[in-house]
Structure formats: structure tokens, C-alpha cells
């Protein structure tokens, strides 16, 4: 009896895979249903500048009820907050370093009391040290891990329980293609983004059983913001840096259609697939040719 | 050189690497000699660490054992000494050429908490002074919190990240400079299949293992970019190993006979073969290469489908329940 069941599942399995691929193709061709953000309170970490700023503005534009900004630089947060308020959406900002666990929990409490329950958490805050391992400062290496990876643990622990109670919520992670395909010269960043990716994938699998609570992870290629200033790709005509506004639009789109993982641009899927097919030495030659071995040599970062 | 010519050269190199890989698959390359070389194993007190130590001992390397548990570490050292005695080549045998120069290896033990940066650096300094230059670094130490994310104390989450991932920064920074000077060395990262794909309930462990792999790959590219081809790197990704660390973990019972928990000896045997033939990555069992590849081409729905078929999406839930129960039992005994 057990064998029959197993054989049945084994035969159904390729069919199920085929149906999933078909469903993905259909979603790609036909516009899927977009959920309404009218009751959602969105919190964006690192919302003062870069992609975070564009994300906050985009969520406001697409109808979010309230937007909350977290960041370390009050000036940037204030400016962004004023811009969003002027456009007609209720906006608040709080100074919070997500790398500091106690600060996260404290500010989460303040947010709950002053603004309300957060239903969309956007883990966007990130830093990069951008040096080779031996040239990296130990404290800077750790700081990157704390902000990019551990910070996401703390914010999720702070806001997810309420989302689960309400059966309504969304955890978003702005990750990076470097989590799936590393380069030299940014070892702190690649390590932290890989960790954050695993955290999101594990969380996504765990939350499949919780109706109403979803996850989205965005993996963009090099985006044209201050953070990676100076980084130079070898063939910018083939792989131009992404526009942060476009990344923000695609993120909000993915949240409204409950898409779990989005790679930007989609051509990056090939790089990731190649990684598991090619022998290591072949991969290294391709990386060298594509210029990823030298792209961080001119890195300046946020000045 | 213009782009077209460079593209041609790269294409040729890619094809050539496939040819070499095929050749290595058909004719296994010879295992390199490690006799007399210094090998540091973190987490040597138990599990895979202990087995790595004994395997290197069999090949007469000098062992440096690091563990947070002094007793367990000393037990491993005893096993290593026994092996040194057993494998001592007989001197003055007369007939035949002695191909291994007579060398008396020793085992050194240090108590070290690899999650503490200062502990790693000071212990590494002691190793440099008391033992010498390190050739092999086996980053093996690993822990798991054993709690669901929302029930997990924050200190345990931090500890998992610090031992499984951040420790690699410190150990590598401690021993890499000399390897770079000599352009000779081998760094082994003992990750896990949970560093290639994840499962629900063990977010901290998956995050730490993915991080270790991200670190390993980034460093690997750095070494290649710096043309340090004398320093090799190997990534070891075993599926569930029967060491008790993940006691209770269960995949779908109908599939389980095809993917039983691995015997640690088998796992380390495969890993040693990879390390000694300078293979960049080894997955045990080999089926994991397929799962890894499928993950990169299938849409997420299909990946979930695959995990559910294998029962892998929630395989850690029984392990977490088991841990919770044993913690409660311990508490009730007090």
C-alpha cells in the first residue's frame, strides 16, 4: 500500500513540476491580481536614501495607508518624510540603527504605540565595507554582518508576531545578486547578503502555512546609488546599473502580487544557473572576462 | 588585446576546463602528500572534526586541534596519538625504497572559542610560535540553536552566526597571511547542504551556512584574482550526517531509504578525497548537485513542490520538537 502511494507521488511529481513552470509562464504573460495596500502600514529600514527612499515613495504612491522610515541619518529621513507627506501619505520617521538589537526592539515598541501595527516590513538597510579580506577592518566586517543580516532577524522578530496574530502581513528583503554569485573585493557584503538570503528563504518556507502572511525577496544587480559608488562593471552597455526607481517599482509590484523571489534583471538567472553547471576554473575565467575581478578596485562607497 | 580575441581565448579556456574536469572524473588524480604539514581543525572535539583529525593523522600530518571543550579535545588527541603509533613506518626494513621520509608528527591541543575574535588571534599566535606555519585550515566548528525563530533567544541566534560564519573571518585572517607569503596552503570550509538550500525552522543555521559559503566563494575569487594558485580551497557540503547534531530530523518516510542520514566516516572519506585532490567542492550524496542545479532553474513554486515531495521543507520540525522536549525534561529534572 505504501509502495503504491510512493509510486503515485513519484509519477505525479514531474507533472506537478511541469504545472508550476506552466503557471510561472502564464503569470509572466498575463498580469496577475494585485492586492490593495490601502490598509497597510509600511516600514522601510534605511528609508532615508538610496533604494529605501524610492521604496518608501513608491509604496506611498501605490496607496499605502502609512509609511514609516527607519535610518541612521536624521537629515535624510526628515527630507524623505517631508516629501512623502507633501504628496499626501501619512509618514513618520525614527532614528534607528538596525544593527543594534536593543534599539530595534525599543523603536519597534515606539512605532506600535505612536503609529500602529506594521503590516509590511521592508528590510532594506545595508552597508558595505568593500575591501578584500586581508585589507578589511575587523570591526567593519562585523558591522556589515550586524546591519545586513542580524538586523533582519531583529526587525522580523519585532514585527512578525503581530502580523501572524492579524493573519495579515508581508516581510520584504532587499537582497542582492551578490548573495548568489560572489565577487572579490566585497567579502563582507557577499557573506552578509548570502546569510540574509537564506534567512528569507527559510522564513518563506516556514510561512507557507500561514495564510495572509507572505514574503518577498528582491535580488537586484548593481543599482545606481551612493552605496556602491565607484564600482565599475566592464561591459556597462550589456549590464547597465539599474535605476533605483525601477527597483522600487518592481519591489512594490512583487509585494502586491505575492511573488516570493525576484531577480533583477532576469538575465542574472543565467549567471546563477551557470554557477552550478560549470567547473570552478571555467567560472573563474568567465568572471575575469566579465570584469568582476576588477570592478571593486575603483569602489568609493558612501562619502 | 581586443574584446573578440579575448572572448575567443576565454571560450577556449572554458572548454578546456570541461575537458580537464571530464578527465579527472575518468582518471582520479593522485592524492597529495600531507605528511609533516600542519593541519588546524576547529571543532575537533567531536563529530566530523574528530574524524578529520584522525584522517589527517593517518596520513601523518601534524595536527593542531581546537575546541571549546577541553576533555573532548584531549580525547581526540589520544585517538590521534594511537594512530601515529599504528602508522609509524618500520625503520631499517632493508628491502624497498622508503618513499616517505621518516617524520615524527605530533598533536597539539588548544582550548579556543572560535566565536571570540581575540581568542582566535591569541591561539593562532601560540600555534605559530609552538608549531610553525599552518598549511591546512579546516573550518569545521558548528552549532545550531535548535529553536524556531520567534522562540529563539537572541543570544543563541548570535552565537550560531558567530561560530558558524564569523569565526571563519578570524581563523582565515589569522592563518592566511603566511599562506599568501609562501603561496602554499589549503582552506577547507565544512558547510552543509543547508548552505545550498534551506528548510523551515532553522533560519539561524541556514543563514550561517549560506554566509560561510558566500565567504568561501568570495575568498576563492579573491585568491584567484591575486593569482595565488598555490592556495587551494575546498567546500564540503554534506547532507544530514548522523552525528547527533540534528537528532530527530526526518525527511519524507517513503524517500528516507534513498537519502538516509550519512555515516560520518563516509562523509569525511569523501571530503578527504576531495581535499587531497584539490577539488573545489564536494557534496555528499552526489544527488545534491542535481537539487542544487534544479534550484537555479525552477520557479519558486516548483522548488517548493520539490521540497514537499522530498519532505524537506519541514524536515527540521521533529528535530526542533525533540530539542524542546529534551530541554523541558532537563528543566523538570532540576
B103, B108, B110, B205: the active-site residue:
B205
* Contact check, Cβ <8 Å, A277/B293: yes
Residues of A in contact with B287 (CB under 8 A): none
Is B12's Cβ below 8 Å from some Cβ in A?
Answer: no
Q: How many residues does chain A have?
A: 303
Of B173, B209, B295, the CB nearest to A133: B173
Per-residue pLDDT at B1:
63
Q: Kindly give the interhelix angle for A280-290 and B3-26, rounded to the nearest 10 degrees.
A: 170
Is B115's Cβ below 8 Å from some Cβ in A?
Answer: no
A-B contacts (CB, under 8 Å): 212
Of B219, B297, B305, the CB nearest to A187: B219
Of B166, B202, B255, the CB nearest to A202: B202
DSSP lists the bridge partners of residue A161 as none
Is B300's Cβ below 8 Å from some Cβ in A?
Answer: yes
Q: Kindly give the interhelix angle for A138-145 and A187-207, rounded to the nearest 10 degrees.
A: 20
Is residue B307 annotated as part of the catalytic site, yes or no? no
Is B28's Cβ below 8 Å from some Cβ in A?
Answer: no
Nearest CA distance, B263 vs chain A (angstrom): 25
Cα A288 to Cα A37, A102, B265, distances in angstroms: 44, 43, 38
Of A24, A284, A286, the CB nearest to B299: A24
Per-residue pLDDT at B332:
52
ipTM for this prediction: 0.94
Question: What's the CA gap between A300 and A215, in Å, rounded?
Answer: 33
pLDDT, chain B, mean = 89
Radius of gyration of chain A (CA): 20
Of A134, A194, A279, the CB nearest to B177: A134
* Contact check, Cβ <8 Å, A198/B202: no
pLDDT digits (tens, 9 = 90+) for B23-57: 988 898 899 999 999 999 999 999 999 999 999 99
Q: Quick one: three-class SS letters along B30-92?
A: CCCCCCCCEEEEECCCCHHHHHHHHHHHHCCCEEEEEECCHHHHHHHHHHHHHHHHHCCCCCC
pLDDT at B333 over 50: no
Residues of B in contact with A20 (CB under 8 A): 298-299, 301-302, 305
Cα B270 to Cα A64, B37, B64, B220, B282, distances in angstroms: 54, 21, 22, 21, 8
* Contact check, Cβ <8 Å, A205/B307: yes
Name A62's Cβ contacts closer than 8 Å, sequence gap at least 6: A37, A252, A256
Least confident of B77-81, B88-92, B111-115: B88-92
Residues of A in contact with B280 (CB under 8 A): 280
**Residue (of A104, A112, A80) closest to A93 by Cα position:** A80
Per-residue pLDDT at B92:
53
pLDDT at B259 over 90: no
pLDDT at B102 over 80: no
What percent of chain B is predicted at pLDDT more than 70? 94
- A35-290: CATH superfamily: NAD(P)-binding Rossmann-like Domain (3.40.50.720)
Cα A68 to Cα A109, A155, A255, B319, distances in angstroms: 13, 13, 17, 38
Is B231's Cβ below 8 Å from some Cβ in A?
Answer: no
Is B23's Cβ below 8 Å from some Cβ in A?
Answer: no
Question: What's the CA gap between A219 and A215, in Å, rounded?
Answer: 13
Residues of B in contact with A187 (CB under 8 A): 215, 218-219, 222
A93, A105, A189, A293: the active-site residue:
A189
Question: What's the CA gap between A141 and A187, in Å, rounded?
Answer: 9
Per-residue pLDDT at B334:
41
| pLDDT by 10s per residue, chain A, length 303 | 557 777 777 777 788 788 888 888 887 788 788 999 999 999 999 999 999 999 999 999 999 999 999 999 999 999 999 999 999 999 999 999 999 999 999 999 999 999 999 999 999 999 999 999 999 999 999 999 999 999 999 999 999 999 999 999 999 999 999 999 999 999 999 999 999 999 999 999 999 989 999 999 999 999 999 999 889 888 888 889 999 999 999 999 999 999 999 999 999 999 899 888 899 999 999 999 989 999 999 998 886
Grid look-up 532577524 returns: A153
Question: What's the CA gap between A56 and A67, in Å, rounded?
Answer: 7
- How deeply is B294 buried, as exposed, middle or buried, from its count of CB atoms within 10 A (0-12, 13-18, 19+)? middle
pLDDT at B91 over 70: no
* Contact check, Cβ <8 Å, A190/B195: no
Residues of A in contact with B117 (CB under 8 A): 138
Instruction: Give the best residue of A27, A128, A198, A274 to mutate against chain B (max B CB count within 10 A).
Output: A198
Asked whether A96 and A69 are in contact (CB, 8 A), the reply is: no
* Contact check, Cβ <8 Å, A195/B202: no
pLDDT digits (tens, 9 = 90+) for B134-144: 999 999 999 98
Nearest CA distance, B203 vs chain A (angstrom): 5
* Contact check, Cβ <8 Å, B304/A205: yes
More confident residue, A253 or B294: A253
- The domain limits of chain A are 35-290
**Residue (of A60, A61, A45, A160) closest to A103 by Cα position:** A45
Of B165, B180, B300, the CB nearest to A260: B300
* Contact check, Cβ <8 Å, B150/A292: no
Nearest CA distance, B94 vs chain A (angstrom): 45
DSSP lists the bridge partners of residue B138 as B41, B188
Least confident of B38-47, B158-167, B196-205: B196-205
Residues of B in contact with A149 (CB under 8 A): 161, 207, 211
3-state secondary structure of A42: strand
Nearest CA distance, A78 vs chain B (angstrom): 31
Q: Is the CA virtual torsion B297, B280, A148, A239 positive or negative? A: negative
DSSP E strands in B89-140: the ranges are: 107-111, 134-139
Is B177's Cβ below 8 Å from some Cβ in A?
Answer: yes
**Confidence bin at B166 (pLDDT 50/70/90):** very high
- pTM of structure: 0.93
Is B254's Cβ below 8 Å from some Cβ in A?
Answer: yes
Is B296's Cβ below 8 Å from some Cβ in A?
Answer: yes
Residues of B in contact with A131 (CB under 8 A): none
Residues of A in contact with B21 (CB under 8 A): 279
Amino acid at each position: 500500500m505504501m509502495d503504491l502511494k510512493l509510486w503515485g507521488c513519484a509519477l505525479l511529481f514531474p507533472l506537478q513540476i511541469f504545472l508550476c513552470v506552466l503557471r510561472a509562464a502564464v503569470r509572466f504573460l498575463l498580469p496577475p491580481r494585485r492586492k490593495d495596500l490601502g490598509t497597510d502600514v509600511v516600514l522601510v529600514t534605511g528609508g532615508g536614501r538610496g533604494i529605501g527612499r524610492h521604496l518608501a515613495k513608491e509604496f506611498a504612491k501605490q496607496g499605502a495607508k502609512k509609511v514609516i522610515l527607519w535610518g541612521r541619518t536624521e537629515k535624510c529621513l526628515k527630507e524623505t518624510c517631508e516629501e512623502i507627506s507633501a504628496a499626501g501619505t501619512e509618514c513618520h520617521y525614527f532614528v534607528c540603527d538596525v544593527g543594534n538589537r536593543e534599539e530595534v526592539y525599543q523603536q519597534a515598541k515606539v512605532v506600535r504605540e505612536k503609529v500602529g501595527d506594521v503590516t509590511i516590513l521592508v528590510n532594506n538597510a545595508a552597508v558595505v565595507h568593500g575591501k578584500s579580506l586581508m585589507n578589511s577592518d575587523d570591526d567593519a566586517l562585523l558591522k556589515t554582518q550586524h546591519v545586513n543580516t542580524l538586523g533582519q532577524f531583529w526587525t522580523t522578530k519585532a514585527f512578525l508576531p503581530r502580523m501572524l496574530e492579524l493573519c495579515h502581513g508581508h516581510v520584504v528583503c532587499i537582497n542582492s545578486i551578490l548573495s548568489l554569485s560572489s565577487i572579490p573585493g566585497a567579502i563582507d557584503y557577499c557573506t552578509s547578503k548570502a546569510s540574509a538570503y537564506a534567512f528569507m528563504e527559510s522564513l518563506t518556507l516556514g510561512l507557507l502555512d500561514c495564510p495572509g502572511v507572505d514574503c518577498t525577496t528582491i535580488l537586484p544587480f548593481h543599482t545606481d546609488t551612493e552605496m556602491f559608488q565607484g564600482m565599475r562593471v566592464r561591459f556597462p552597455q550589456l549590464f547597465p546599473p539599474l535605476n533605483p526607481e525601477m527597483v522600487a517599482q518592481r519591489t512594490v509590484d512583487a509585494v502586491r502580487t505575492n511573488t516570493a523571489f525576484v531577480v533583477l534583471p532576469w538575465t542574472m538567472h543565467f549567471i546563477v544557473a551557470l554557477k552550478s553547471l560549470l567547473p570552478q576554473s571555467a567560472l573563474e575565467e568567465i568572471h575575469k572576462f566579465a570584469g568582476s575581478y576588477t570592478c571593486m578596485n575603483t569602489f568609493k562607497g558612501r562619502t | 588585446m581586443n574584446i573578440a580575441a579575448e572572448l575567443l581565448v576565454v571560450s577556449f579556456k572554458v572548454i578546456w576546463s570541461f575537458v580537464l574536469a571530464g578527465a579527472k572524473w575518468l582518471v582520479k588524480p593522485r592524492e597529495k602528500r600531507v605528511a609533516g604539514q600542519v593541519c588546524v581543525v576547529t571543532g575537533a572535539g567531536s563529530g566530523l572534526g574528530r574524524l578529520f583529525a584522525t584522517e589527517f593523522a593517518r596520513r601523518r600530518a601534524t595536527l593542531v586541534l581546537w575546541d571549546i571543550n577541553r576533555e573532548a579535545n584531549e580525547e581526540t588527541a589520544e585517538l590521534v596519538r594511537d594512530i601515529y603509533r599504528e602508522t609509524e613506518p618500520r625503520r631499517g626494513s632493508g628491502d624497498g625504497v622508503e618513499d616517505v621520509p621518516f617524520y615524527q608528527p605530533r598533536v597539539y591541543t588548544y582550548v579556543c572559542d572560535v566565536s571570540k575574535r581575540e581568542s582566535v588571534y591569541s591561539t593562532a599566535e601560540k600555534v605559530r610560535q609552538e608549531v610553525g606555519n599552518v598549511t591546512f585550515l579546516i573550518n569545521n566548528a558548528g552549532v545550531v540553536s535548535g529553536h524556531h525563530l520567534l522562540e529563539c533567544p537572541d543570544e543563541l541566534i548570535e552565537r550560531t552566526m558567530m561560530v558558524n560564519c564569523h569565526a571563519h573571518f578570524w581563523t582565515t585572517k589569522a592563518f592566511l597571511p603566511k599562506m599568501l607569503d609562501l603561496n602554499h596552503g589549503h582552506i577547507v570550509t565544512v558547510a552543509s547542504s543547508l548552505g545550498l538550500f534551506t528548510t523551515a525552522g532553522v533560519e539561524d543555521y541556514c543563514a550561517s551556512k549560506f554566509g560561510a559559503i558566500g565567504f568561501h566563494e568570495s575568498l576563492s575569487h579573491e585568491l584567484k584574482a591575486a593569482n595565488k594558485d598555490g592556495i587551494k580551497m575546498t567546500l564540503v557540503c554534506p547532507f544530514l550526517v548522523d552525528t547527533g547534531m540534528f537528532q530527530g530530523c526526518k525527511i519524507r518516510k517513503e524517500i528516507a531509504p534513498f537519502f538516509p542520514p550519512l555515516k560520518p566516516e563516509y562523509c569525511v572519506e569523501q571530503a578527504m578525497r576531495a581535499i587531497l585532490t584539490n577539488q573545489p567542492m564536494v557534496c555528499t550524496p552526489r544527488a545534491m548537485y542535481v537539487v542544487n542545479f534544479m534550484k537555479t532553474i525552477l520557479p519558486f513554486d516548483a522548488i517548493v513542490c520539490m521540497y514537499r515531495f522530498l519532505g524537506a521543507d519541514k524536515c527540521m520540525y521533529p528535530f526542533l520538537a525533540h530539542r524542546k522536549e529534551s530541554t523541558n525534561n532537563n528543566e523538570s529534572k532540576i
